[in-house]
Chain A
Amino acid sequence: MQASKKSINYNNLFIYFLAFSSGFSIMCIELLAGRILAPFFGSSVHIWGSIITVFMLSLSFGYLLGGKLSTHSASLTRYGAIFIIAGLTLLPIVTSSEWLMESIFLAVEDSRYGSLLASTALFFIPTIILGMLSPYSVRLLVKNSNESGQVAGKLYFVSTLGSAIGTIITSFYLVLWFDINTIVLSVSLVLSLLGITTIALAKVYANFYKAEVQREISHA
């Protein structure tokens, strides 16, 4: 009984760590977005307007969707799958941003709407997916309604802390050490690996509990 309680705590700690990582990734990508768009749309104030609008909008949709999804048989496995999908949807930023931005640049003369369209094309979907993780984490962490506020508070704390650290590390150091594509690829890879680890852990837990239950049955 004690052992299982302890393992649940590790489980929660891992979920908080995952929420931290998603917060980190969101701001890391948002910060790079300015650099990615600059060659085609410049660095006027409205470029940041476009980027922040798209990120806020997609996060809001992500929260809604993630909350909705968590009502149907929420599990660590599905949670991990969201991470993998988030990692995968970041890949087009590396592979297709060049021609995507070029065709938008050719089609739209006004750099305000050009940048809005480009940041939608590149960042809308991955940020929705990343936004889904927060409410889903709350669902996995909350065990009774009494602690739900505290859990949500801790989760906001951890993921927003991740965002802050993601912002400063990316802008102070990562851009000085690596190419933009290298950073985006690494974020994508890390998210996918975290997802795979989560799914693997979920499998291990399931097997562990199955074995435990079987042992108890055979004992009885």
Chain B
Amino acid sequence: MPNSINKFIYCAGFLLSVCLVNNAIAEVVHSERSLYRNILVEDNGDLRCLKFNVKSNKTRQSCFNKSQPEQLVFNYTKQLLTGLLVNPEPQRILIIGLGGGTMSNTLHKLLPDSYIDNVEIDHSVIKVAREYFGFLENEQIKTYSQDGRVFVKRAVLKKQEYDWIILDAFNGDYIPEHLMTKEFLEETKSLLSKKGILTANTFSSSKLYGYESATYKAVFGDFYQVSNKDNNNRIILAGKNGLDQNFNRAQEPVSKNGSINKLSIELLAIGVDAKELYQNMKSTAIHQNWSDDNPVLTDQFAPANLLNIDTD
């Protein structure tokens, strides 16, 4: 009995010290309550992070190194770049969900001639990205403070086309359910150019996994999944016209046995290993890790947030 009390005290003390240390290192540079969430900018040494909800550890964040702003810090942002392996020269890029704007900045570095449209529902996030994350906007890089679904619908009406659409609107706490339905994916698909691709940062745990996978498959057919062992993110990479003809192109940067091409060098410069990306790509045509009887999410039926709670 005293032993267990000792253990408890030891545990509590340990936790407390962890908290104290964390608090000592991380410094809150800016915090504000926007219409949609609490926004927090934290400095942790050289690392600056954008957090949306302090207490939840599920919160996805957007971080960058102040001294090396072009380095991608998080796995899932690196994984999103798998899109470049399949479609190396996208002219027009659409990013839904801005975060700190690090993705937009990185892509502008890599593809200085490409046009980038950023869509972010929360105007405060855009302001924070500009002020604290060096989010760059110019003639080629535009930002729209709008709901992603509305932007996509209007863009379809205007017959716009994108070579690469990056869907990163899910911060882990709350899922905008109308951005995960079959109808929405069909709209984004119709925005894609002939060789266009969609990469989406999605969920890999909970019941939602099967539902979401089934929905992507219903719209795009087979797709690539990019995941990491130490990471609960999964990136979906889907093409306008399936993936078969793109598969060989994805091999290019690492094919000729060691001879590395320009893209891999550029990716390496921002902390991304093209070979590793390529190895982590798994086609659902070869192995599909959800059962076929998962229902498809539609505008009529989209309880994504409820499915994400339900883990049984």
Seen from chain A, the residues whose Cβ lies within 8 Å of a Cβ on chain B are: 35, 38-45, 105-106, 109, 111, 172, 175-176, 178-181
**B264 lies within 8 A of chain A by Cβ:** no
A-side interface mostly: helix
Question: Judging by beta carbons under 8 Å apart, are B303 and A175 in contact?
Answer: yes
Most buried by B among A38, A105, A178: A38
Question: Judging by beta carbons under 8 Å apart, are B157 and A41 in contact?
Answer: no
Given contacts A38-B177, A44-B121, A180-B301, contact A175 B306 (CB under 8 A): yes
Interface with A: B41-49, B87-95, B147-155, which one? B147-155
Contact with A along B16-45 (1 / 0, CB 8 A): 000000000000000000011000000000
**A65, B184: Cα distance in complex, Å:** 41
Question: Judging by beta carbons under 8 Å apart, are B303 and A176 in contact?
Answer: yes
Q: List 9 A-B contacts (CB under 8 A).
A: A35-B177, A35-B178, A35-B299, A111-B147, A175-B303, A176-B306, A178-B301, A179-B298, A180-B300
Chain A nearest CB, measured from B255 CB (Å): 42
Chain B nearest CB, measured from A55 CB (Å): 20
B300 CB contact (under 8 Å) in A41, A105, A176, A179: A179
**B146 lies within 8 A of chain A by Cβ:** yes
Chain B nearest CB, measured from A26 CB (Å): 21
**A130, B89: Cα distance in complex, Å:** 57
**B176 lies within 8 A of chain A by Cβ:** yes
B153 CB contact (under 8 Å) in A40, A178, A179, A180: A40
Question: Judging by beta carbons under 8 Å apart, are A39 and B149 in contact?
Answer: yes
Contact with A along B111-153 (1 / 0, CB 8 A): 0000000000100000000000000000000000011111001
Interface size of B by Cβ–Cβ distance < 8 Å? 25
**A41, B299: Cα distance in complex, Å:** 13
Given contacts A106-B157, A172-B306, contact A43 B176 (CB under 8 A): yes
Question: Judging by beta carbons under 8 Å apart, are B301 and A42 in contact?
Answer: no
B184 CB contact (under 8 Å) in A35, A39, A172: A39
Question: Judging by beta carbons under 8 Å apart, are B306 and A43 in contact?
Answer: no
Question: Judging by beta carbons under 8 Å apart, are B150 and A45 in contact?
Answer: no
Question: Which residues of chain B are near A42, meaning CB under 8 Å?
Answer: 121, 146-150, 178
Question: Which residues of chain A are near B177, meaning CB under 8 Å?
Answer: 35, 38, 43
Question: Which residues of chain B are near A44, meaning CB under 8 Å?
Answer: 121, 147
**A42, B148: Cα distance in complex, Å:** 7
